[in-house]
Every structure is written in C-alpha cells, then in structure tokens.
Structure 1
Amino acid sequence: MNYKTLFLCSLVGVLLFKEANCLNKRCIKCRSRGELGSCGDPFPFNVTEPEAEVGIHVVACPSGWCGKSFEGNIGAFKNDDYGAATERMCLQRPPSDYEERCAYTMWSHRKVYMCFCNGDLCNSSYKIVAIPSVILVTISILFYNFFYS
C-alpha cells in the first residue's frame, strides 16, 4: 500500500468517526435568573466539566436539537435583573422547517427570545458555522496538491 492510499483511507476514517460521534447528541440543561446566574450567556463554564457547577447538567437529547431561551425584556436585562432568565434545554422535536435560528416566540404562554440548534452541546455557546462549500474547496485544494505535486 503506498502513502497516497494510506492518506486517503485515513481521511475517510476520520470523516466516518466524526459522523459516528455526532450520533450521540447532548444538550446543556439549566435555568437561572439574573446576570450572576450560572446558566447565563455567555456560558461561563467548560462543557467538558459541567457537573462541577450545581444546577448545570449534560443530558442526552434523542432529537439532537437543543434550545436556549431568554425570558424578560432583552434590552432591559440590566435594569430588571430579577426578571431576566436564561434556560438551556433539549427540544423534544426539531423545528418544523429544520432550520437553526434565533427569534422571538411564545413558550409556555410567555414571549421569549429562543435559539434552536442541532449538534452535540450546541446550546453551550455561540455557534461558529463553517460553510460546507469552503470546506469542500479546501479539501479539493489539498487533494490536488497532494496527488499532483
């Protein structure tokens, strides 16, 4: 087996491992009020050690969709600290259009600002999304340089 075949097999193995790893999706589950709460945004903890803080749990999420909601007047969080609440949870089912987004919505008869995301522990922080076409172009350039150099 030459080194190019070995490289290609390794790349396929890494991609398959990443896909298998994404099958077990988890979400952060917590709720807190006020700016000093442990569930606030930005999330103040390392998601690899969430159980170190009381009230923060990592839960299995069969749907794969996590949520994060902000209750209260978003612009007035500083003025009305007690009324501001942040909650992170696993959603029982995905949004009807399967789109990740943030928007105002009604949740338990209250108007909240809610974000939906799909991925392992995606509701623990702001999400950085890599554009698939950029990834494809990068891999294509690497293959071209590797095989035709």
Structure 2
Amino acid sequence: MKCSIFIPSLIISFLLLDNVMSLHKRCIRCRSRGELGTCGDPFPFNVTEPDAEVGIHVVACPSGWCGKLIEGTTGAFRSDDYGAATQRMCLQRPPSDYEERCAYTMWNHKKVYMCFCNGDLCNAAFRISKFPITLIISILLSLYNFL
C-alpha cells in the first residue's frame, strides 16, 4: 500500500518545490570599477550573505532575468577610467529569444560584454542549480512518507 503512495508523493513534492523556488527569483545588484571592486569577477561573496558588504544588494526580480555587464574591456580607457566596470542587475524584461547567453552588445552607445541568465541569483559567479536540490529534497520527503 505504501509503495503505491511513493511515486505520486515524489512527483507532487517535486512539482511543489519547483514552483515555490521559481516564484522567488532574485538578482545581485551592484556596480564597481577596477580589480579591487566588490562587484567584479570572480564574485568575492557567498550569494547567501551579500548584504554584509556595502554596495552589494540582493533584489527581487519580477522578470526572473538577471544580467551582468562589463564595460571598458574592448579598447583604450579614458583618463578618468580606473579599469573595467562590472555591473550586475535585474533585467526589466527577458531577451526577445528567451536564451541565456553572453555576448558583446551596444549599451548606452558603448560596446560592452553582457550576460543574460534566468534564475534565482544567477548573476553571481557561482550558480547553484535548483534541479538537484529539488530532486534530493523530493526523494527525502518521499522516503519519509514511504517509511
């Protein structure tokens, strides 16, 4: 009898956890210039504790799409530049083709390197995929129901 409950409870818990996790998408918001900046690559902070550093913010992102923009890497710097500037942000809307990618593009009349990603805190350097976590939790919940 308990075995017949195992599969449906596994499926239901997987779907519920996946939906809950996808509703709360956040992005890192920051901007810094130069090698010593706190927003650059590699991102020097754990994404679960970014508010500990001034200028690093975790913001709710209704579109679910985050971005990372790097400017100043394609040519000579002006005399007032201190190096490449890195900016992480929530995008107001997704790319027209809904594809995650990085490429050179024009932004405010400048050639910049920009990345688009879809997911919770995906614009931090380290990305934790929600699929394995959701799967593990679902299996544990199902095993608990089975026993």
Superposed pair shares fold, TM > 0.5: yes
Q: Which runs of 5+ in 2 are unaligned?
A: 133-147
Return the letter of the residue paired with 2:27: C
Following the alignment from structure 1 to structure 2, what is the Cα–Cα distance between the partners of residues 114 and 105? 7
Return the letter of the residue paired with 1:85: A
The alpha carbon displacement at 1:11 in A equals 4.1
Following the alignment from structure 2 to structure 1, what is the Cα–Cα distance between the partners of residues 30 and 100? 20
**Larger RCO: Structure 1 or Structure 2 (Cα < 8 Å, ≥ 6 residues apart)?**
2
Question: Which residue number corresponds to residue 14 of structure 1?
Answer: 14
TM-score, length-normalised on structure 1?
0.76
Question: Which residue number corresponds to residue 72 of structure 2?
Answer: 72
Return the letter of the residue paired with 1:39: C
User: Are residues 1:49 and 2:49 paired?
Assistant: yes
How many residues align structurally? 130
CA contact (8 A) 2:25 2:64 kept: yes
The alpha carbon displacement at 1:109 in A equals 1.6
Question: Which residue number corresponds to residue 87 of structure 1?
Answer: 87
Kindly tell me: are residues 76 and 4 of structure 1, through their superposed partners in 2, closer, same or farther at Cα, counting changes over 3 Å? Answer: farther
Following the alignment from structure 1 to structure 2, what is the Cα–Cα distance between the partners of residues 66 and 44? 18
TM-score, length-normalised on structure 2?
0.77
Q: 1:36-93 deviations in whole A, cap 9, x for unaligned?
A: 100011111011111100000000111110000111125989xxx8131100000011
Q: Which runs of 5+ in 1 are unaligned?
A: 136-149
Secondary structure at the counterpart of residue 99 of structure 1? coil
Q: CA RMSD in A?
A: 2.8
Q: Which 4+ stretches in 1 moved above 3 angstroms?
A: 74-77, 126-130
Match runs of 1:1-149 below 5 Å: 1-73=1-73, 82-127=82-127
Following the alignment from structure 1 to structure 2, what is the Cα–Cα distance between the partners of residues 101 and 129? 16
Secondary structure at the counterpart of residue 114 of structure 1? strand
Following the alignment from structure 1 to structure 2, what is the Cα–Cα distance between the partners of residues 129 and 104? 26
Return the letter of the residue paired with 1:54: V
Question: Which residue number corresponds to residue 145 of structure 1?
Answer: none
Secondary structure at the counterpart of residue 5 of structure 2? helix
Higher mean alpha-carbon deviation, 23-32 vs 13-22, is at 13-22
The alpha carbon displacement at 1:120 in A equals 0.5
Following the alignment from structure 1 to structure 2, what is the Cα–Cα distance between the partners of residues 66 and 108? 18
Question: Which residue number corresponds to residue 147 of structure 1?
Answer: none
| Percent pairwise identity | 71
Kindly tell me: are residues 36 and 7 of structure 1, through their superposed partners in 2, closer, same or farther at Cα, counting changes over 3 Å? Answer: same
